[in-house]
Amino acid sequence: MRPLTEDQLRRALVNATRDERERLELPHDFPILEWDHLDFLAWRDPTTRSRGYVVAELGGEPTGIVLRASGSVQGGSAMCNICHSMQPGNQVAMFTARRTGDAGDRGDSVGTYVCADLTCHENVRIAGPLAPSEVRASVDRRIDGTRHRLESFVERVASAA
Ligand SMILES: [Zn+2]
């Protein structure tokens, strides 16, 4: 994705209140992010841990949403709905986002289970092929799928904008 400044990131948040926009804290690695390698940007707020942010390029425009984390899955294992990684339950959390516009004013939100640290972008790459027969193409498909599911989620939140 194209590099964004801190100001651009704040302005990209479509479902944030003024307070949320002002309080946003950048990820620690923001100064060294390799934007060229990112399909999207997602992070947990380093200070307000109950908040997370996702910024994707929709139709070439940076579009960001604020997420609220509610508890992780208790016990067992769980699958992230964005990158489809299987994780220990405590590493997958429910994230909800208030929808934009009238829907959000009525209290509508969209929620899904996501890697608790919002590290799907890395996880889908770290996971690697499961078997030697699983060739590079299938890893690329998982990466494409992750990006597609992430963008669809942002779209659902922003659709009423
Ligand atoms: Zn994930």
pLDDT tens per residue across span 17-60:
999 999 999 999 999 999 999 999 999 999 999 999 999 999 99
Tell me how far the alpha carbon of residue 150 lies from the centroid of ligand 1, in angstroms. Answer: 9
Distance 127 CA to ligand 1 centre (A): 11
Distance 110 CA to ligand 1 centre (A): 17
- With a CB cutoff of 8 Å and minimum separation 6, the contacts of 16 are 24, 64, 65, 66
Q: How far is the CA of 25 from the centre of ligand 1 (A)?
A: 21
Predicted confidence at residue 158, as pLDDT, reads 94
Helix (H) or strand (E) holding 157: helix 136-158
Over the chain, what is the mean pLDDT? 92
The pTM assigned to this predicted structure is: 0.91
* Tokens describing residue 139: 């890893």
Token representation of residue 51:
């908040």
User: pLDDT band at 160, cuts 50/70/90?
Assistant: low
Residue 129 has pLDDT above 70, yes or no: no
pLDDT of 63 strictly over 70? yes
Contact 99, 157 (CB under 8 A): yes
CA distances from 48 to 85, 108, 157 (A): 25, 22, 21
Give the sign of the dihedral formed by CA 14, CA 12, CA 57, CA 89: negative
pLDDT tens digits for 102-125? 989 899 999 999 999 999 999 988
Question: For residue 103, how far is its CA from the centre of ligand 1 (angstroms)?
Answer: 26
pLDDT in tens, 130-158: 666 666 778 888 999 999 999 999 999 99
Q: How far is the CA of 120 from the centre of ligand 1 (A)?
A: 4
pLDDT band of 91, cuts 50, 70, 90: very high
Q: How many C-beta neighbours within 10 Å does residue 126 have? A: 10
Q: How far is the CA of 38 from the centre of ligand 1 (A)?
A: 15
